[in-house]
Amino acid sequence: MTTCWYEGPLAAFDTETTGVDVETDRIVSAAVVVQDAPGTRPRITRWLVNPGVPVPEAATAVHGLTEDHLQHNGRWPAPVMYEIAEQLAEHAAMGRPLVVMNAPFDLTLLDRELRRHRASALDRWFDARPLLVLDPRVLDKHLDRYRKGRRTLTDLCAHYGVPLEGAHDAAADAVAALEVVRAVGRRFATRLERLSPGELHTLQAGWHAAQARGLQAWFARSGSDEIVSTEWPLRPELPAAA
């Protein structure tokens, strides 16, 4: 019998950053986690980055990484971004799905860092084989859309009974997101087990767009002019200002 994707090999990617603006903020740490089967010990690759820009105290308060620590222990961004993209491309080549919580944030940030430091877009790493993304936030929101409450990684871990030790550490968050996706797969098996990761990737793009439009409408009703991107899992590069 063929193993369902949520019981098979998965990878996960997460970053910690200087802030929440994908166009201007920088990656200060990242992790890629690989788990061959549920319950097996994950293999973890970690990166610590000296972003070369000030690290706001508000960001340090979230992830605990100070500017001084990063300057003394972090590597320059250019080789790090190359290594991350190379590793993600290897997972794509193997057809191994990549779990990314709130994918348009982390993947877009990685794309901008690659453009900034290597004059290379993230997409070009997946010319041969596409990246297959599983986003626990999009999956949960679509499959259990009427549940009240927030849907941060901490909230999803609590809801699906996944332990989260050391939140806001890139590796800990990546492991937790991966386990949440497996839990979502099992809970909604009747709706998900017949779908391949490739089919699910395509569906999530549509689900995210619908979710974004709903949020945009809610903002409009509450008088906010905030713009919600419908793009998933990667936001296109902003056109250069005229």
Query: Per residue in 186-208, pLDDT tens?
Result: 999 999 999 999 999 999 999 99
If DSSP states are collapsed to H, E and C, what string results for the chain?
A: CCCCHHHCCEEEEEEEECCCCCCCCCEEEEEEEEECCCCCCCEEEEEEECCCCCCCHHHHHHHCCCHHHHHHHCECHHHHHHHHHHHHHHHHHCCCCEECCCHHHHHHHHHHHHHHHHCCCHHHHHCCCCCCEECHHHHHHHHCCCCCCCCCHHHHHHHHCCCCCCCCCHHHHHHHHHHHHHHHHHHCHHHHCCCCHHHHHHHHHHHHHHHHHHHHHHHHHCCCCCCCCCCCCCCCCCCCCC
Percent of the residues in the chain that have a pLDDT greater than 70, as a whole number = 98
Confidence check: pLDDT of 182 > 50 = yes
pLDDT in tens, 26-54: 999 999 999 999 999 999 999 999 999 99
Taking residues 93-109, report their average pLDDT: 98
229 domain residue, yes or no: no
Percent of the chain with pLDDT over 90: 93
- At 60-75, the pLDDT tens digits run 999 999 999 999 999 9
In a domain, 125, yes or no: yes
For range 10-37, the mean pLDDT = 97
- Provide the pLDDT confidence category of residue 55 given band limits of 50, 70 and 90: very high
Instruction: Give the pTM.
Output: 0.96
pLDDT given for residue 242 in this prediction = 37
CA 172-197-173 angle, to 5 degrees, is 10
Q: How confident is the model at residue 226 (pLDDT cuts 50, 70, 90)?
A: confident
Return the amino acid letter for 174: A
**Averaged pLDDT of the chain:** 95
Q: Residue 239 has what pLDDT?
A: 67
* Residue 169 domain-assigned (yes or no): yes
Give how many domains the chain has, as a whole number: 1
Q: Token digits for 154?
A: 């901490």
Residue at 226 is within a domain: no
Q: Reply yes or no on whether the pLDDT at 225 is more than 90.
A: no
Region 141-157 average pLDDT? 97
CATH number, domain containing residue 97:
3.30.420.10
Where in the sequence is the domain holding 142, given as residue range(s)?
5-221
Write down the pLDDT at residue 238: 75
Compute the average pLDDT of residues 3-11: 94
Contact 134, 188 (CB under 8 A): no
Going 113 to 115 to 118 to 120, the CA torsion angle's sign is positive
Burial of 58 (0-12, 13-18, 19+ CB in 10 A): exposed
Say what the pLDDT of residue 236 is: 92
Asked if residue 123 is part of any domain, the answer here is yes
pLDDT at 59: 95
Asked whether residue 204 is assigned to any structural domain, the reply reads yes
HSE-up (13 A, CA, CB side) for residue 222: 9
pLDDT score of 241 more than 70: no
Q: For residue 184, is it within any domain?
A: yes
Domain contains 233 = no
Could you tell me the pLDDT band of residue 240, with boundaries at 50, 70 and 90?
Answer: low
The pLDDT value recorded for residue 2 is 63
- Helices 136-143, 153-160: axis angle to 10 degrees equals 60
CA distances from 45 to 4, 31, 67 (A): 25, 6, 22
Q: Around Cβ 165, how many Cβ atoms within 10 Å?
A: 9
